[in-house]
Structure 1
Amino acid sequence: MVPARFTVAIGSMDILTLENVTHDFGSTRALDSLSIGVEAGELVCLLGPSGCGKTTALRIAAGLEPLQAGRVLLDGEVVADADQDTPPEARSVGLVFQDYALFPHLTVVDNVAFGLRKLPRRRRRERAMAVLRQVGMAELADAHPHMLSGGQQQRVAVARALAPRPRVMLMDEPFSGLDVTLRHQVRDETLHILKQTGTATLMVTHDPEEAMFMADRVVLMRGGRIVQMGTPAQLYAAPANEFVAAFFGDINRLHGVVRQGRVSTPLGELDAGRLPEGAPANVLVRPEAVRLHPVDGDAASGARTGRVLASRLLGRSSVVHLVLDNPADSGSIQADRAGPHVHARVPGRFLPPENTCVEIDIDPYQAFVFPAHEDAA
């Protein structure tokens, strides 16, 4: 299990470092000894439910929220601690917010050039146009923000943040205002731009799919603390607890008791790991781990079967609603004598008719066993 207070060793390659940052709003602890680092060219996503502290962490990194405890470093230099708090404009960070915050009275090129006032006027426009070409917006350089679509405004916001060549890019829910199709396109383009520039990026999102798409590393937060940190594959395939497993998609939740190192459920037996003999256990099975096979005639002896309640095509996959015919065996504490209702997600088009009997097995690598007393809320 991952301890409640999760700390990391800060690497020498980190461009941005938050070290033991603690922050309170009145009696509410928003961040509790948070430590993270972002390397050059790396994109790290702060992920979690509303109120978990992710936006507070981003604002402290930007200098928009006064630091209360801990340290913030850029390129190894302390920019905030108990003795100093460098203002945002002196931190060499680029900021992209949910609402883009473009100046409506300025043209696109003037919006991008706004943060380049230290350059001569001619060099400002040259640099602004170079970044606009990079994001595919050079042809609209003389347009005003109200003339642009949401996706175009987002590209301009990214260009404006990149124009001063910041050491760190900070992004707060940058795609949430876009419709689904445009969101996929724009975040793909943004990821390519950030990778091409090699910018260290810290991004906030509440969307686990977006975090998995964008991030080299995901920092999943809850109650101001890090619950688990790692690559998207690590968090998805090896969740530290029920909260992590359930946060990354739908799950089928079953129950059982440990018997001889195994937990028996209506979907099959699983390794109980280090849980002690006789311990009650919660079993979380991803819908894509539930594999279905047609039954020709009678099901094989000992096979686990289910009855199809409904099946729906979702585009790239199909979801099948099932009631299991096999109640739990004597080693399980599953209470539903008729068998639980579970979901299976199958690639492509797979739409068995209602009341069809199907044979079921599971992929054990997408099923997870946790202590039943664990707090998963």
Structure 2
Amino acid sequence: MKKIAVDAMGGDYAPQSIVEGVNQAIQAFSDIEIILYGDEAKIKKYLIEHERVSIVHTDEKINSDDEPTRAIRRKKNASMVLAARAVKQKEADALLSAGNTGALLAAGFFIVGRMKSIDRPALLSTLPTVDGKGFDMMDLGANAENTPQHLHQYAVMGSFYAEQVRGIKRPRVGLLNNGTESSKGDPLRKETYELLASDEAIHFIGNVEARDLMTGVADVVVTDGFTGNAVLKTMEGTAMGIMGQLKSSILAGGWRAKLGAMLLKGSLRELKQSLDYSDVGGAVLFGVAAPVVKTHGSSDAKAVYSTLRQIRTMLETTVVEKAVAEFSGESDDR
């Protein structure tokens, strides 16, 4: 049985969206057990009681505006802290939260603990592409500043995740840059390029541009946390803008537009699904000793369900255990 500790109080719509997502997951998967951490009375308002779901009550939670490290240290009974501690003490196999991103990073680093030989754990997420296959990208914001050695580690970790979890043999690794030529970019990108090109253990295909990400140009895309977070939010905003503008155009276009929309209903549904971030799961804090996954603060029940499905796959493939064994033997320069 796979045990998942869930911070029920993190996120914009907690605990409702969190609990409703748990309700869906527990019905869909017979091999998972959920431990919800948070206000028991508030959780029970939305929870469909099940023998594989339990609640650990606490009145304390970490707010979105709390200073991350200080909150982790001072709010020792916060729902996120208790869930992280359960993973550390082997009472649960993985942690899910939609709460304060910085606090979750601190909990993963200081409570769960990082893998040996990994300097900077990073956020990795599978993002959608037009062909539906998706690509893994890291770092998405765990570290605002990075060295070439950090980006090299991200390429190794991202490639490992894509192969183990998504089943891609020899994933194509691209370095996000402002041009595809090897001479492009600032010193960080240029030095990283040299490190990746000289590593025969990964399938490095060179620089990739942001405009090509959704065409499936690479299976794994590597960048620093500041750039990755900006690109992620740009993609999210663009997807929402496209769908919103399309809907407005149909509603304002009269009966011909509405008729056309009816005839294209199937195609429009496929377009929506190709841009739907709620179906791909959350961002994995890869580089810590157990699965720690952050779902979006505004996640609805579907997004929470998708993230629990993702965690289940991670536990099923034992990707973190394999990564711990793999990276413990790496040289110090990675």
Higher relative contact order (CA 8 A, sep 6+): 2
**Which one has a bigger Cα radius of gyration?**
1
More helix by share: 2
TM-score, reference length from structure 1: 0.25
TM-score, reference length from structure 2: 0.27
More strand by share: 1
